[in-house]
């Protein structure tokens, strides 16, 4: 079920209504939410629900064993079992065919290795990292194992954040269980606000830009002039932001309506003045996970400059691989890792000079410059193969001429996306306050109008798909 679908709306309404009835009874409520989450997941593919349950049972069991065991060697063994179990499943289902294809290509004398007949389980990258945070935190003695399997299973599979994040830490979610949920009217209003905002970003911005320019240009970059390609790249930057942060908003909003506070996942990333700042604002739950469970265990910045740069690059490379099984994702991660390392080098060298320019103009210019760097990375991220990436760069350089072939409304949507993104936080805050003050009828009317506009955009945004069928 997609968040921007009618069936999800029906599902959410049913869950909210039944949740209200069960609100006073914690265990039945969690059982219901767990059942709803499993139902939500099984709407995609019921068979792969078993993988989710496997991860849940594995880490719940190993979490308890790690906590009860005093001997370091055994604790390490249990942690390794958790890591290998979870990452093994992730490796097979997400990366298995990628490795097979590459081995077949580079070592042809091995012959044709049969590909795995598997689909990529939806959300596996997210829930794997979530369950790993549980066992690792227990190992580090930062967390105690949760008493109830039901509660832990709900943490792993909670439907708002199951398929596309944010990646919630056990330490953030589990303490919210076991307490009677306290949800004020402001919480409910804010939940609807986040859902409305998420729909706006996902459907009106992201889907529209995807269909009207991004997909077209990236599928045939050789057919477009340099200005068109540039606009497509900027459009993709806002498409991926709108898509991802829109989903996160809807997830957090749904969580709010159910009485759970999920962490913020995006904080206007394109106003970042450098890549370090960008990664503090983009997919915050992932970047903080990578920092705490990969970068810091590798040594972080504590083992000298050279090790710091290597750790940064390696962390970002693996972060790129997390996004998808493809060389373009790996290269994208490597690109960010190298730029981060270079940024760090430059900041160390330039400390005390103009590295931190307090002037507003300076910040704006640096943000614009950083945006160009991020967009360069996005070209690599979006390109289905390296040839498309090269073709896009060549096109940007004028290889296909300088024709501008963009629908005017695309520019309008792009400007709206940029303007809303660059708005200062107080604007968003004031908008949220204004929304919260709306009475229920006005709030409902606004939501219905938004849904109507989204549906219109969905319908009108679909091109005539004639020749695909």
User: Which stretches of the chain bind other proteins, using CB under 8 A?
Assistant: 2, 5-7, 9-10, 13, 16-17, 20, 23, 180-185, 187-189, 192, 257, 440-441, 443-445, 447-449, 451-453, 455-456, 458-460, 462-469
CA 456 to chain centre: 26
d(CA 229, CA 224): 6
* Comparison of 52 and 257: residue with beta carbon closer to other proteins: 257
Task: Round to whole Å and give the CA distance between 26 and 37.
Answer: 16
Q: Catalytic: which of 146, 323, 336, 421? A: 323
Nearer of residues 20 and 368 to other proteins, judged by Cβ: 20
Q: Is the distance from CB of 364 to CB of 418 less than 8 angstroms?
A: no
8 Å CB contact between 367 and 356: no
- Total Cβ atoms within 10 A of residue 230: 18
Q: Is the dihedral of CA 84, 86, 89, 90 positive or negative?
A: negative
Q: How far apart are CA 249 and CA 272, in angstroms?
A: 20
Q: How far is the CB of 451 from other proteins (least distance, A)?
A: 7
3-state secondary structure of 178: coil
Specify the residue, 180 or 403, whose C-beta has the smaller distance to other proteins.
180
| Closer CB to other proteins, 183 or 310, in the complex | 183
The whole-angstrom separation of Cα 434 and Cα 431 is 5
Which segments of 192-270 are extended strands (E)? none
Is 190 designated active site? Answer: no
Q: How far apart are the C-alpha atoms of 80 and 58, rounded to whole Å?
A: 12
- Distance of closest approach, residue 21 Cβ to other proteins, in angstroms: 10
Before 166, cis peptide (omega within 30)?
Answer: yes
**Smallest distance from other proteins to CB 270, Å:** 29
Residue (304 or 463) nearer to other proteins, CB: 463
Q: Which is nearer to other proteins, 46 or 74 (CB)?
A: 46
- The nearest distance, CB 216 to other proteins, in angstroms, is 11
In the complex, minimum distance from the CB of residue 458 to other proteins, in angstroms, rounded to a whole number: 6
Cα(456)–Cα(462) distance, integer angstroms = 10
Least Å distance, CB 95 to other proteins, is 19
The answer to whether residues 133 and 293 touch, using CB atoms and an 8 Å cutoff, is yes
Residues 346, 373 contacting (CB under 8 angstroms) = no
Catalytic residue list: 323
């Amino acid at each position: 079920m997609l968040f921007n679908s009618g069936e999800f709306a029906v599902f959410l309404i049913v869950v909210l209504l039944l949740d209200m009835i069960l609100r006073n009874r914690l265990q039945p409520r969690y059982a219901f939410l767990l059942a709803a989450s499993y139902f939500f997941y099984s709407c995609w593919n019921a068979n792969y629900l078993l993988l989710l349950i496997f991860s849940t049972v594995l880490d719940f069991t190993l979490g308890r064993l790690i906590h009860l065991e005093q001997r370091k060697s055994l604790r390490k063994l249990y942690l390794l079992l958790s890591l290998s179990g979870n990452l093994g499943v992730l490796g097979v289902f997400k990366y298995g065919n990628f490795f097979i294809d590459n081995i077949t290509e580079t070592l042809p004398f091995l012959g044709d290795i049969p590909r795995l007949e598997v689909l990529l389980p939806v959300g596996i990258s997210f829930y794997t990292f979530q369950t790993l945070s549980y066992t690792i935190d227990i190992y580090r003695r930062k967390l105690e194992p949760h008493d109830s399997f039901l509660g832990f299973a709900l943490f792993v599979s909670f439907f708002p954040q199951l398929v596309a994040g944010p990646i919630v830490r056990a330490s953030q979610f589990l303490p919210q269980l076991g307490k009677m949920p306290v949800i004020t009217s402001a919480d409910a209003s804010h939940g609807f606000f986040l859902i409305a905002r998420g729909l706006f970003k996902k459907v009106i911005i992201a889907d529209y830009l995807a269909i009207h320019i991004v997909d077209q240009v990236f599928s045939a970059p050789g057919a477009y002039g340099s200005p068109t390609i540039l606009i497509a790249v900027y459009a993709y930057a806002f498409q991926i932001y709108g898509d991802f942060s829109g989903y996160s908003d809807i997830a957090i909003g749904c969580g709010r309506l159910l009485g759970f506070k999920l962490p913020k996942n995006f904080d206007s990333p394109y106003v970042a003045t450098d890549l370090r700042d960008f990664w503090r604002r983009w997919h915050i739950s992932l970047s903080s996970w990578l920092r705490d469970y990969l970068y810091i265990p590798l040594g972080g910045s504590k083992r000298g400059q050279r090790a710091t740069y290597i750790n940064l690059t390696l962390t970002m490379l693996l972060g790129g691989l997390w996004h998808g099984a493809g060389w373009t994702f790996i290269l994208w991660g490597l690109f960010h890792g190298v730029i981060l390392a270079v940024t760090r080098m430059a900041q160390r060298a330039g400390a005390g000079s103009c590295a931190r320019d307090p002037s507003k103009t300076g910040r704006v210019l640096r943000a614009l410059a950083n945006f160009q760097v991020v967009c360069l990375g996005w070209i690599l991220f979006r390109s289905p193969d390296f040839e498309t990436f090269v073709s896009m760069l060549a096109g940007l350089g004028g290889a296909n001429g300088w024709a501008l072939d963009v629908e005017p409304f695309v520019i309008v949507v792009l400007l709206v996306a940029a303007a809303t993104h660059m708005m200062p936080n107080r604007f968003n805050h004031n908008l949220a306050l204004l929304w919260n003050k709306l009475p229920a009828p006005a709030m409902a009317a606004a939501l219905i109008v938004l849904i109507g506009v989204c549906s219109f955009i969905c319908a009108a945004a679909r091109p005539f798909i004639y020749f695909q069928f």
